[in-house]
Structure 1
């Protein structure tokens, strides 16, 4: 749906920390999915040719649900645990402009 809210992060993980980062990010987003109203889904993508480079996406109901999530004290704790394993991080919030068949398969 156009206007859907997304959060995104570009994570450059320190060498040798990728497995720990994946585990921490999974804990973070598992908590968010169950405790942050408006959280719809989360994805963590790893660069095929750069195993320490990741991009994350989260889908949300609204701007208010994202703001409420980020305001929770647990957000800071979980985010810090992920960030401390990284050399660089940048985050951006988006709204959906267009989509074609967003079906995800395993």
Structure 2
């Protein structure tokens, strides 16, 4: 049986709630398609550096997992995000600001 997927808007709302409960500042930079828009998570560590994560399907493990799309100086990461927006106008972009580098993407329910 195929794996059921949450609508993107529902997942984003739940993720933002989880971040808020952990006192991790986050906001939606770009609102994508509520049903099927891909979600990118940008982690800004407030030191001039950032990382963007995207979900990918891992064929070897037959599951979805978070992978680094871009990492480095924030302006370079923002340029990578701009390119992605050009490819996919239905894209969601969530930005997290956390000096400790927390995203919670490795937690149960978010990691797969």
Q: Note whether the superposition's TM-score is higher than 0.5.
A: no
| Greater RCO structure (CA 8 Å; 6+ sep) | 1
TM-score by length of 2: 0.31
TM-score by length of 1: 0.32
